[in-house]
Amino acid sequence: MRKTLIILLFLSMALCGQAGVQSLGLKGTVTAYGSVFSDYQSRGQFIPVIEGDFLPDTSRYIFDFELSGDSYVRYDTVNQFTPGISPYRAWLRFAGNQFEVRVGLQKITFGKAMLLRTENWFDTMDPRDPLGLTQGVWAERIRYYIPGTNANIWLWSIQENLDNSSFIIPLESDVFTLVNHFGGRLEMPMLMGEIGLSFNTKTGAADTASITGFIVPGTEIPVYTLNSRQYQAGIDGKWDKDIGFWFEAAYINDRSDFTFMAPNSYILTEMAMLTLGIDYTLGIGNGLTIICEYMGDVIRSEVNLGSGKTASVTTLNILGLMLSYPMGIFDSMGLMGIVDLDSGSLYSYLYWRRQYDNLTLQLSGALTNFDADVSLFPGQSGGISIGNMIQFMAIYDFRVRIF
From 210, 207, 183, select the one nearest 197 (Cα to Cα).
183
Give the span between the Cα atoms of 53 and 185, in whole angstroms.
28
In a domain, 156, yes or no: no
In a domain, 107, yes or no: no
CATH number for position 254: 2.40.160
Give the span between the Cα atoms of 23 and 54, in whole angstroms.
7
Q: How many domains does the chain have?
A: 1
In a domain, 94, yes or no: no
Mean pLDDT, consecutive 10-residue stretches, the chain (403 aa), reads 53 53 88 84 91 85 91 80 89 94 94 93 89 90 93 94 73 68 95 94 72 60 72 96 93 85 83 96 93 96 82 94 94 95 93 94 92 66 70 93 82
Task: State the pLDDT at residue 176.
Answer: 58
Q: Which domain holds residue 352?
A: 23-88+112-127+167-174+189-401
In a domain, 69, yes or no: yes
Give the span between the Cα atoms of 392 and 384, in whole angstroms.
11
* Residue 349, H or E segment: strand 346-355
Q: Give the angle 95-98-101 at the CA atoms, nearest 5°.
A: 35
3-state class (DSSP) for residue 192: coil
Task: State the pLDDT at residue 381.
Answer: 47
Which strand ranges, in their side-by-side order, compose the sheet holding 209-212?
Answer: 171-172, 209-212, 220-223
In a domain, 180, yes or no: no
Contact 150, 143 (CB under 8 A): no
In a domain, 121, yes or no: yes
In a domain, 270, yes or no: yes
Task: State the pLDDT at residue 375.
Answer: 72
Residues paired with residue 269 on neighbouring β-strands, in sequence order: 254, 301
In a domain, 103, yes or no: no
User: 11 phi and psi, to 5 degrees?
Assistant: -65, -45
